[in-house]
Amino acid sequence: MAGQLNNPVGVVDAILASEELRNGLFRAVSSSERSVQQRRRNETVEEEVSAVFRGNSTGTPVSTVSSVSNTPVSNTPLLTSPANRFNFGETSRSQSYPIFQMRRNYSSQAPKRRKTSGKKSKTVQGTFTKEIILLPSPGDKVVVKQGVKQMLYEKGHILNAVEIDKGWSAEDVLGHIKSCFGTKIPEGTGLDILMGCGNKLVSPALSSGQTLTGYMINKIFGTKAVYLRPDVGLFNVKVESSDDEYSDNEIPLPTSRYSEQNISESPNPEHIDQQLNTPIADLSKSNGREAVYASYVSLLDDSDDHDMLYQQEEAYFNNAIEASLRESQVERPDKSMVDLLKEHQQRCILRDEWNQIIVCRAKLLPTAFTAIKSANFNCCKDLKVKFSGEDGADSGGPRREFFRIVMRQLPATMTLFQGRLGHTIFTHNIQALEENRFFLAGRLVGMSITHGGPGLCCLDPLLFKLMCGAPCDVSLFCINEIGDWDFVDIMEKLKSAASEGSFKKFISDNGDYVANIGYPSIYTVKLKDKTRIACSLLKYFLLYRVSAEIGQFTRGINDVGGLWNLIKSHSGEFESLFTERPVSITGEALKSLLFIEWSELGSNARIKEDATIYCWELFVKNVEEGNVSVAVEDDMVQVELPNLLQFMSGADSIPPLGFGTNLTIIFYDQEEGKTRLPYTSTCALQLALPRGHEDESTFSELLTKSIFESGGFEKP
């Protein structure tokens, strides 16, 4: 027996000969076969579930084989609890199921990670299109209404699809946009790029060193239009904000990767929930399990993309809101009238182009109107003035003289204005309206202020506030300043009606007059309404009665680079230019303007100049005290410091923007046996005085004669 077992053939024969060994071998083979079949069934379920969920890890059957008996040990299924979300159908307790590792991302690919800022950025490529809106005036600060937008479109100030390269620099972008508008943007015009935020226009908020390149415009503006605001007026149109807080055409709509067709074909939430709650066994039987899986993964990816898109849009809107808040709430340093005018000059005046106007001293205002109403006249160009019959090129002096006289004559023109200085109001004049004279008067005022001359300095302060829309108490207006005595009589009667009876009598006697001028409810008002009626009537006389004249006048001012828009938005700073006479110059103020060109210290010339300056300072002191007078056409006229300043500069007061340089005193020597009068160059702002005058009386006579006998600019 032992020998047989050492022989392989003998071993087999021994096994076959033993009935017990044959039965044991049969049981072992049968048991192994059943275990393999069971394992194959489990693997089939695992494969199908893996096909649906794309699991990276295989399931592990929860069945073990005894190491002793090799008999499978039955286990209770893990997913048959009632609390389990998924229903796996009927199961036998002898079945075993795989355990799956459930993960958030069921994609077979590794999750995508966002690129970090540390990676090297790619070169910006590609183009995009933007709607460009060219505003007509430097004073435009609000998003345009649809009516104005249609007008701008008809004038060619709106381009719907301007192609911009993302790789362009800020200069390239601006140059391309200018070339697209062609001649509508004059050469040398500066442009501000703005974006709509609510109903306001704001400048994009950029970090230090950033510029509005093509790439930045594409990122910042999104779906918004690009607004261009020129620094000079292109044409006259009033751009008003819409009544709503947000303009319909300026709200950027969130973009989506779905088209309308995609949205209609996307699975609805109920369908998705139904798919998620479908038993795995049913999913394994479905022929469209790949489509279900694709929809599920697409849903997850779209959700991530939507979150990212929402975050980008939220950041974009937050930036726009912050820019608007900075524009409206951040306290800016107050700018003076001088600062505002200097900025306006830089934006408005074209220094390399100029107009020359020829005027006659005897008919200065009519000839000035003739000169500036020419179709070729551009009031934003630099200006040169020539008085007919007088020699001399204009380097500033004739222009100052011109505006000084014009601003003095305009208030005295009864066809346009009425009332005394400081309380002047507009005259209702249909003929002047039809001849556009109020517009020309406004243009002259705007040109004077812009080119360094004086303001109108005559209007009633309450009228100016009403013109600017500023708050004011009209009841403070003095009716004695009104030249219409019929209206004054009505106002006096209304004021004296202190009882119900007298008030009813006032209505009975004057109701028709009050109703005809625009207060038809006068017959139903009560005594308690008297103050309100009086204010309404005063406002009628000051504003409503002459609204056409005022509108034409302010349009003329605004024709000079949008100046009235600037004045209206800073009415407090500009009020003095329209309502107050310039402050009379003092001796100290005049002295602060002067620069003396002395000869070398210790020289004979310097000794003579010292004597002359002593006489000069004594003369200024006597003039300021009112001790100097001169005979003019048999009348004694008192010499005043404005006369002296006018003689030196052409202006009788210090202009709002100053002279730009000091007034200079130079000296000359008198020739033997001759007397040469002092003379000036109003362009160079120079006063020439004779050296060596030690007699102050003689010096005073010479200088007074020069002031009152010099003819125009024909200085000796």
pLDDT tens sequence across 132-142: 999 888 888 88
Mean pLDDT, rounded, for 29-56:
60
Q: What is the 3-state secondary structure (H, E, C) of 586-599?
A: CHHHHHHHEEECCC
Q: What is the pLDDT of residue 331?
A: 43
Mean pLDDT of 484-509: 92
698 pLDDT higher than 80: yes
Quick check: helix, strand or coil at residue 342?
helix
Band the pLDDT of 381: cuts 50, 70, 90: confident
Q: How far is CA 585 from the centre of its chain?
A: 39
Whether 361 shows a pLDDT value over 50: the answer reads: yes
What pLDDT, on the 0 to 100 scale, is given for residue 219? 85
Residue pointed to by tokens 């005559």: 458
Place of tokens 């697209």: 180
Q: Which domains does the chain have, with CATH numbers?
A: 127-230 (no CATH), 340-577 (3.90.1750.10), 587-709 (3.30.2410.10)
**With contact defined as beta carbons under 8 Å apart, do 230 and 222 qualify?**
no
pLDDT reading at 443 higher than 90: yes
The structure tokens listed for 57 are 């890890």
Q: Is the pLDDT of residue 4 over 60?
A: no
Mean pLDDT across the chain: 76
Whether residue 117 has pLDDT greater than 70: no
> pLDDT at position 460, please?
93
Whether residue 271 is predicted with pLDDT greater than 50 in this model: the reply is: no
- The answer to whether residues 4 and 10 touch, using CB atoms and an 8 Å cutoff, is yes
Tens of pLDDT, residue by residue over 62-110, are 444 444 344 444 444 444 444 444 444 444 444 444 444 444 444 445 5
pLDDT of 306 higher than 80 = no
Per-residue pLDDT at 248: 39
According to the per-residue pLDDT averaged within each range, which of 260-264, 613-617, 652-656 is highest?
A: 613-617
Return the ∠ at Cα 194 (arms to 189 and 199), rounded to 5°: 130
What is the predicted pLDDT for the residue at 66?
41
| pLDDT over threshold 90, residue 433 | yes
Average pLDDT over residues 633-654: 86
Cα distance between residue 179 and residue 186, in whole Å: 11
Average pLDDT over residues 221-243: 73
Which is more confidently placed, 530 or 58?
Answer: 530
Closest to 250 in 3D by CA, of 194, 212, 306: 194
Indicate the residue type of 554: T
- Of 189-198, 227-236, 364-373, 594-603, give the lowest mean pLDDT range: 227-236
pLDDT grade, residue 259 (50/70/90)? very low
Q: Which pLDDT score, from 0 to 100, does residue 272 have? A: 40
Q: Is the pTM of this model over 0.85?
A: no
SS3 107: coil
Alpha helices (H) in 547-603, listed in sequence order = 547-558, 563-569, 571-579, 587-593
